[in-house]
Amino acid sequence: MRADIVVFPGSNCDRDAEIALRAALPGAEVHRQWHAELDLAGTDLCFLPGGFAHGDYLRAGALAARSPALREVRRLAERGALVLGVCNGFQVLVEAGILPGAFQANTSQHFVCRDVHVRVETDRSPFLHDLAAGDVLCLPVAHGEGNFRLTADEYERLKGEDRIALRYCLPDGGDGPGANPNGSVMGVAGVLAQGGRVLGMMPHPERAAWPEVGRADGMRILAAVQAFAEGGCR
């Protein structure tokens, strides 16, 4: 299996992603690639990391979405490979039109950096096939523009197509005050493209992939893709 991490000027989670993927995918080739020299031939998983790509000028992810690298990422997704965009990577996928929606500043108008709980809404994705709808994960967030927006029609379409991957929740899996850290519509924390092979999510699984320190829920997402790449996952 081969995993490639796209590095933009301003990315700051690419090293975390590399270390976590090496731990989650034993035996896999894991590479960081500069966006201007991107070669995704043979890639099974493309990871768009967190950070502030191109300084998040104009809007978070807007300039990176217009990089030639995103044409390569789009082609990769179209041929059925896996794409995971985390935090700023999620924003880039949205700005590129690979995933629906838009992002605004957190409703608090403050940068949010803390652990949150998210509820799995579907297992119809290679990233989530080892989980079940209703499972609760504890993952960290770190963002200032994490307020994910959808129109009413977009939301209903994604819900009807089972493409809402994760929602913010309370530790017991329920909804309530304090569950949503940024004001995202209906508490949506992650969404899927058609077919489930592209996942965008605001929480950072690569920062919660370490059983040694009691933070391993992210490993349940990252490790799940190896079975798919080896032909053992639907």
**Segments making up each domain of the chain, as ranges:** 2-229
> For the chain, what is the mean pLDDT?
94
Band of pLDDT at residue 232, cut at 50, 70 and 90 = very low
Band of pLDDT at residue 215, cut at 50, 70 and 90? confident
**213-231: b (≥16 Cβ within 10 Å) or e:** eebebbbbbbbbbbebbee
The tens digit of pLDDT for each residue in 149-177 reads 999 999 999 999 999 999 999 999 999 88
Position 233 scores a pLDDT of 43
Beta-carbon contacts of 203 under 8 Å, excluding residues fewer than 6 positions away, are: 86, 87, 116, 118, 137, 139, 140, 141, 166, 189, 190
Average pLDDT over residues 191-200: 96
Q: What is the spatial distance between Cα 47 and Cα 37, in angstroms, rounded to a whole number?
A: 15
Which residues are known catalytic residues? 87, 204, 206
pLDDT tens column, 137-151: 999 999 999 999 999
Report the run of H or E that residue 200 belongs to, with start and end: strand 198-201
Q: How far apart are CA 142 and CA 207, in angstroms?
A: 11
- The phi, psi pair for 17, rounded to 5°, reads -65, -40
Please provide the size of the chain in residues.
234
Dihedral over Cα of 49, 41, 26, 99: its sign: positive
CA 218 to the chain's CA centroid: 11
Specify the pTM: 0.95
The DSSP secondary-structure symbol of 11 reads B
* CA distances for 79 relative to 82, 194, 211, angstroms: 9, 13, 34
Residue 152, phi-psi category: left (phi > 0), alpha (psi -120 to 50), beta (remainder):
alpha
CA distance 130 to 200: 18
- Can you read off the two tokens belonging to residue 102? 């838009």
Class of 2-229 per CATH? alpha beta
